[in-house]
């Protein structure tokens, strides 16, 4: 059992949890993920590591409430426990030798972009952190982003904060204005990563994306997380989760991601109803 | 006077048309009377061939003669002196190729039902406990050994060493102990309560188990050795599932057998109250590609979820690598065998009018070719050859690929100096020793996908070698 040390509500549907897991904290690196189960009948879900504190022995994760599992998890409070927390899994982000990087995040994906940006920034890299949200109320981790970047650019879909623009437009502006990037790192919804990659391909900028497919064991056994990268089958859990964005088949990844959508929506509704009944 | 009946006592089983709708165990086990009657068929050979056929050297005639005398407890002691997991072996070993395959009684008539008797003895013990209380726990000898993976190889190695007094810790990546015994083999063939009992017996002998720990990520082999483990046994098991590299393998509704079985067995996706989803298969058509035990397990699970199920296998029925009993059970349950057929593409749905149609990217069929058998290949089996122009298509909603696995890549990529072969298996000598001092390996991590009992045999061999190496220290 793993204790919830801290819970922080970042916006109405996004929560940060700091979990006591010393063995994972000792090894965690930006770009890696963990798998957790909330309770005994829980499913195993992968979540990317948002932060870690080796001394305190804790690992933080940020999640959006999308299905029954995240709904249940969000009902847990500080001091309570979750059933399983295993990791760190996947390969860490490679940052060596990078001088100037644009880290592009969308929605809850910005939370995953944060540790990558921080690591690059700590290593002396010039980091343009470009993050996009639907509106002002959904903006998360603004102070953290500022501390982890040379240049923070926030955009919203409705213009309620920063520029009314998509992250691809904001990135394009930077490139057009003369920013010379060694690499673009894009983390967020698959559709966003697809369009970022289309853009960077035009400019020939190496681009890395972080994939978050359906997964069960996370250790290279089940094969559920497979993707097509450069015409070959790759497994996000052991070969990734980061891949060369110009080689990923995003359309296939998007289709595979919808496999259990109806089940998730239905299960979340049922879970919500259960919690409502408890309140009554 | 031995029982000279030419036939084995049949195994009482659930009716096929009842069991293909539930996940309860298919075979129900011998009664005491049946077990004694079957045991009396053993001729107690002076030079027992059956023992040679057993990868863990169970003293077969000895335990069977105890059964014949009705001394079931003593029979259990005989079995467990060499086999840590008898209730499991009695259920999942391919006896026809091992002990029973060598039985003299099998020359004229059927061999002695050794597997069924082993199962009976283990189940009797689990139901009645050991007379005279729990067996004594050996004194600790002060040597620490780490075991990576809690599948059949790891559990056997851990059990053998713990009985000799070693301080053994097993590290398991998943949340539950048992490896393939819990995520792969279905409940109806190996109830998980039985695995839990076998594991509890190992814990009684002092084996410690740590779950949620991925060796190679959470901790490395080198760090384990720095922490004071004098030897490490790697039994990390099967790795990534293999695919055919045909079009459509990444469509929605194509599973690897590993994923399909893990959702059902480990995550209990078929049960009310499990949060893990699985595709709705009631009234759907499912093709399982492959002919091994894993293919049979996947097919029989799909049947239990209400599907019409086909096994597609490129050779003929005679070459099916699955245990004979599994094939027989699958047929009885209504699985349709399409042997001498091979898939060439999985066909997907695509609505050109509506890009947002949720059915886009889902399986809607499978294209196959017919095969015929040519000359024997390197494996000794006749090589399947494509019959030109024999293409045909079948409607399908789900395709499960059960083509084997390649060894888990995590440990080799994080352990310096660990030599591996071309196929990704860890290279070991006859004692299970790898290219690293103090590091041993066995099971699917070495051989690629094989059987439970071969993994157990490898765990046993390594335990013996570890004992020999550490007792000299």
Cβ atoms of A24 and A90 within 8 Å: the answer is: no
Residue in A with minimal Cα distance to B243: A233
Phi, psi of B185 (to 5 degrees): -80, 125
Judge whether A53 is closer than 8 Å to chain B, CB to CB: no
Q: Which residue has the tokens 């996706």?
A: B269
Judge whether B276 is closer than 8 Å to chain A, CB to CB: yes
Residues of chain A contacting residue B217, judged by C-beta atoms under 8 Å apart: 27, 87-89, 219
pLDDT tens digits, one per residue of B173-183: 999 999 999 99
pLDDT tens digits, one per residue of B205-241: 999 999 999 999 999 999 999 999 999 999 999 788 9
Residues of chain B contacting residue A256, judged by C-beta atoms under 8 Å apart: 250, 252, 361
Instruction: Tell me which of B93 and A202 has the higher pLDDT.
Output: A202
B133: confidence class by pLDDT, cuts 50, 70, 90:
low
Q: Distance of CA A153 to CAs A72, A122, B58, B66, B179, Å?
A: 33, 19, 70, 79, 47
Phi, psi of A263 (to 5 degrees): -60, -45
Which secondary-structure segment (H or E) carries A35?
Answer: strand A33-37
Of B175, B218, B241, the CB nearest to A23: B218
Beta bridge partners of A210: A242
Judge whether B21 is closer than 8 Å to chain A, CB to CB: no
DSSP category for residue B420: B
Beta bridge partners of B365: B347, B395
State the pLDDT at residue A255.
87
What is the rounded CA–CA span in Å between residue A116 and residue A163?
24
pLDDT tens digits, one per residue of B14-29: 999 999 999 999 999 9
Interacting residues of B328 by C-beta distance below 8 A, sequence separation 6+: none
DSSP category for residue B442: -
Judge whether A70 is closer than 8 Å to chain B, CB to CB: no
Judge whether A22 is closer than 8 Å to chain B, CB to CB: no
Closest Cα in chain A, distance from residue B400 (Å): 12
Residues of chain B contacting residue A36, judged by C-beta atoms under 8 Å apart: none
Interacting residues of B130 by C-beta distance below 8 A, sequence separation 6+: B73, B76
SS3 A255: helix
Q: Do B408 and A219 touch (CB under 8 A)?
A: yes
Planar angle of CA B150, B155, B158, nearest 5 degrees: 115
- DSSP string of B378-392? TTSSEEEEE-TT--E
Mean pLDDT of chain A: 91
The pair of structure tokens assigned to B306 is 């209400």
pLDDT tens digits, one per residue of A32-57: 999 999 998 899 999 999 999 999 99
B413: confidence class by pLDDT, cuts 50, 70, 90:
confident
């Amino acid at each position: 059992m793993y204790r919830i040390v801290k819970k922080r509500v970042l916006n109405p549907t996004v929560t940060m949890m700091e979990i006591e897991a010393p063995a994972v904290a000792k090894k965690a690196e930006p770009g890696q993920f963990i798998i957790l189960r909330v309770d005994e009948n829980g499913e195993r879900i992968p979540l990317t590591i948002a932060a870690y504190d080796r001394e305190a022995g804790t690992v933080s994760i940020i999640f959006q409430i999308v299905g029954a599992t995240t709904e249940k998890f969000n009902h847990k409070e500080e001091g309570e426990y979750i059933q399983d927390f295993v990791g760190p899994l996947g390969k860490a982000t490679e940052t060596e030798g990078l001088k100037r990087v644009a880290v592009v995040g969308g929605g809850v994906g910005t939370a995953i972009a944060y540790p990558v940006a921080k690591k690059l920034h700590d290593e002396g890299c010039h980091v343009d952190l470009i993050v996009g949200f639907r509106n002002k109320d959904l903006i998360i981790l603004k102070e953290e982003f500022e501390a982890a970047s040379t240049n923070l650019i926030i955009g919203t879909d409705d213009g309620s904060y920063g520029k009314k623009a998509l992250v691809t437009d904001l990135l394009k502006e930077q490139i057009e204005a003369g920013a010379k990037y060694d690499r673009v790192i894009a983390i967020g919804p698959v559709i966003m990563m697809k369009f970022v990659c289309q853009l960077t391909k035009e400019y020939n900028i190496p681009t890395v994306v972080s994939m978050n497919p359906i997964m069960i064991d996370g250790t290279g056994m089940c094969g559920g997380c497979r993707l097509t990268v450069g015409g070959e089958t790759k497994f996000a859990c052991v070969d990734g989760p980061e891949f060369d964005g110009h080689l990923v088949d995003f359309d296939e990844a998007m289709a595979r991601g919808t496999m259990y959508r109806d089940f998730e929506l239905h299960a979340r509704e049922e879970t919500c109803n259960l919690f409502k009944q408890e309140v009554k | 006077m031995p029982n000279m009946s030419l036939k084995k006592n049949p195994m009482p089983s659930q009716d096929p048309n009842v069991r293909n709708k539930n996940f309860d165990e298919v075979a129900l086990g011998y009664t005491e009377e049946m077990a004694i009657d079957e045991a009396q068929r053993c001729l107690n050979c002076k030079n027992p061939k059956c023992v040679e056929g057993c990868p863990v050297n169970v003293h077969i005639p000895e335990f069977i003669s105890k059964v014949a005398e009705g001394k079931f407890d003593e029979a259990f002691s005989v079995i467990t002196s060499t086999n840590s997991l008898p209730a499991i072996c009695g259920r999942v070993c391919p006896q026809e190729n091992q002990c029973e395959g060598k039985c003299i009684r099998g020359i004229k008539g059927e061999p002695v039902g050794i597997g069924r008797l082993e199962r009976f003895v283990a189940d009797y013990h689990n139901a009645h406990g050991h007379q005279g209380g729990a067996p004594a726990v050996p004194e600790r000898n002060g040597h620490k050994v780490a075991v990576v993976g809690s599948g059949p190889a790891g559990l056997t190695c851990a059990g053998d060493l713990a009985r000799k007094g070693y301080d053994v810790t097993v590290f398991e990546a998943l949340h539950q102990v048992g490896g393939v015994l819990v995520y792969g083999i279905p409940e109806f063939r190996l109830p998980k309560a039985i695995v839990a009992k076998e594991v509890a017996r190992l814990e009684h002998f002092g084996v410690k188990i740590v779950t949620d720990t991925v060796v190679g990520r959470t901790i490395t082999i080198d760090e384990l050795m720095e922490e004071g483990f004098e030897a490490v046994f790697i039994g990390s098991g099967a790795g990534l599932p293999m695919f055919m590299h045909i079009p459509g393998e990444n469509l929605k509704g194509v599973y690897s057998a590993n994923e399909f079985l893990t959702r059902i067995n480990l995550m209990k996706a078929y049960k009310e109250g499990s949060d893990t989803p699985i595709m709705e298969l009631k009234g759907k058509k499912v093709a399982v590609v492959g002919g091994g035990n894993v293919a049979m397990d996947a097919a029989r699970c799909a049947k239990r979820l209400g599907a019409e199920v086909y096994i597609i296998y490129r050779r003929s029925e005679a070459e099916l690598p699955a245990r004979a009993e599994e094939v027989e059970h699958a047929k009885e349950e209504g699985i349709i065998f399409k042997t001498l057929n091979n898939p060439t593409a999985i066909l997907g749905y695509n609505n050109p009018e509506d890009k947002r149609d949720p059915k886009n990217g889902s399986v809607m069929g499978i294209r196959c070719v017919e095969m015929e058998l040519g000359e024997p290949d390197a494996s000794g089996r006749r090589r399947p050859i494509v019959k030109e122009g024999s293409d045909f298509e079948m409607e399908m909603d789900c395709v499960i690929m059960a083509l084997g696995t390649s060894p888990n890549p995590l440990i080799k990529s994080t352990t310096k100096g660990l030599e591996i072969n071309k196929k990704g298996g860890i290279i070991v000598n006859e004692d299970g020793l790898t290219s690293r001092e103090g590091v041993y390996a066995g099971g699917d991590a070495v051989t690629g996908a094989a059987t439970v009992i071969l993994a157990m045999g490898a765990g046993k061999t390594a335990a013996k070698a570890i004992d020999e190496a550490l007792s000299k220290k």
